[in-house]
């Protein structure tokens, strides 16, 4: 991906057209300086009705104006003058294990496309998106801003990085949690190949900071189904360690361990009030994003 730059390399015009109809909300309203489309929680302000806009998937249905619907059978959202911008931070795992690919794209490339899609949704709605890329340490940190040029900057940064080095997810994300002082929406893209307690600790850190957190756990389908048949060498992409074995001898144990690992990740997220999205790299990115944001809207987030 080092040769690719810009959102055009990550998403097609058809993808952008579909994404332009979406919205991503947060469980809370954040303090903001720009006039976005999110209701402010800040008390003491005069909040007055300003206008209507057409409903799009992802909007909070509580703000639907049913009187307007009764007149013209179209869904519209009530907007208010004291609405504020949503800050979203996209945290991208670029450790060695994210380089794995059994087909056309690596986990890292898929994560970049997911992050680019959500950045587009956020910025298209006049909100702000920032980016952090981490592995053994935080490699890159871009502030949350809006506008098409900032979107291009985010996408270029994703494309210019390459997955490498062992992950120190806990250490890297603890550092980021300390940097994000204002309540925000934090979206993590990672295979979560770390110790469960390290995952729990860092997610709890973000939640103590009162951030709304979503985790996209990104895996290759081959990692889930283990379709290998022939005896061969299996290499750890972060340490370089190799083992030679017959897949049929370890398939049952591997799949049992993987299922336990996924259950642990889901359980940790659920206990901390973190959204967990399992994303397989052979799924169309925009279909995944649309489905998740629709589910998020139905859940009232």
How is domain 7-19+85-296 classified at the architecture level of CATH?
3-Layer(aba) Sandwich (3.40)
- Determine the Cα–Cα distance for residues 52 and 198; give it in Å rounded to an integer: 45
CA 129 to chain centre: 11
Sign of torsion over alpha carbons 116, 183, 35, 18: positive
pLDDT of residue 187: 98
10-residue mean pLDDT profile of the chain (301 residues): values are: 67 95 67 42 41 72 83 77 71 96 94 98 94 94 95 95 88 95 95 95 97 98 84 67 75 90 98 98 97 86 63
For the record, the structure tokens of 165 come out as 């080095």
* C-alpha dihedral, 108 to 113 to 115 to 116, nearest 10°: 140
pLDDT of residue 117: 98
Q: Strand, helix or coil at 156? A: helix
pLDDT of residue 70: 86
Q: The whole model's pTM is what? A: 0.79
Domain residue ranges of the chain, discontinuous segments joined by +: 7-19+85-296, 48-81
- Determine the Cα–Cα distance for residues 286 and 199; give it in Å rounded to an integer: 27
66, 74 in Cβ contact below 8 A?
no
């Amino acid at each position: 991906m080092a040769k690719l730059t810009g959102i055009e390399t990550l998403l097609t015009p058809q993808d952008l057209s579909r994404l332009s109809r979406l919205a991503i909300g947060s469980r809370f309203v954040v303090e903001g300086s720009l006039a976005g489309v999110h209701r402010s929680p800040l008390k003491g302000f005069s909040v007055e009705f300003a206008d209507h806009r057409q409903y799009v998937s992802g909007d909070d249905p509580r703000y639907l104006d049913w009187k307007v619907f009764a007149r013209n059978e179209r869904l519209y959202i009530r907007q208010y003058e004291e609405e504020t911008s949503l800050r979203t931070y996209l945290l991208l795992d670029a450790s060695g294990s994210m380089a794995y690919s059994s087909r056309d794209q690596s986990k890292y490339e898929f994560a970049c496309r997911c992050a680019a899609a959500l950045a587009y949704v956020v910025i298209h709605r006049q909100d702000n998106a920032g980016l952090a890329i981490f592995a053994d340490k935080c490699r890159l940190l871009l502030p949350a801003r809006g506008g098409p040029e900032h979107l291009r900057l985010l996408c270029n940064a994703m494309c210019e990085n390459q997955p490498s080095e062992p992950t120190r997810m806990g250490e890297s994300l603890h550092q980021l949690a300390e940097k994000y002082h204002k309540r925000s929406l934090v979206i993590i893209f990672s295979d979560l190949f770390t110790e469960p307690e390290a995952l729990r600790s860092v997610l709890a850190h973000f939640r103590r900071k009162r951030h709304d957190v979503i985790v996209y756990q990104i895996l290759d389908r081959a990692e889930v189904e283990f379709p290998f048949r022939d005896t061969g060498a299996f290499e750890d992409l972060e340490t370089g360690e190799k083992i030679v074995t017959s897949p049929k001898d370890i398939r049952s144990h591997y799949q049992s361990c993987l299922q336990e690992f996924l259950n642990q990740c889901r359980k940790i997220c659920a206990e901390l009030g973190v959204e967990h999205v399992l994303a397989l790299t052979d799924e169309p990115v925009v279909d995944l994003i649309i489905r998740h944001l629709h589910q998020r809207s139905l859940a009232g987030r």
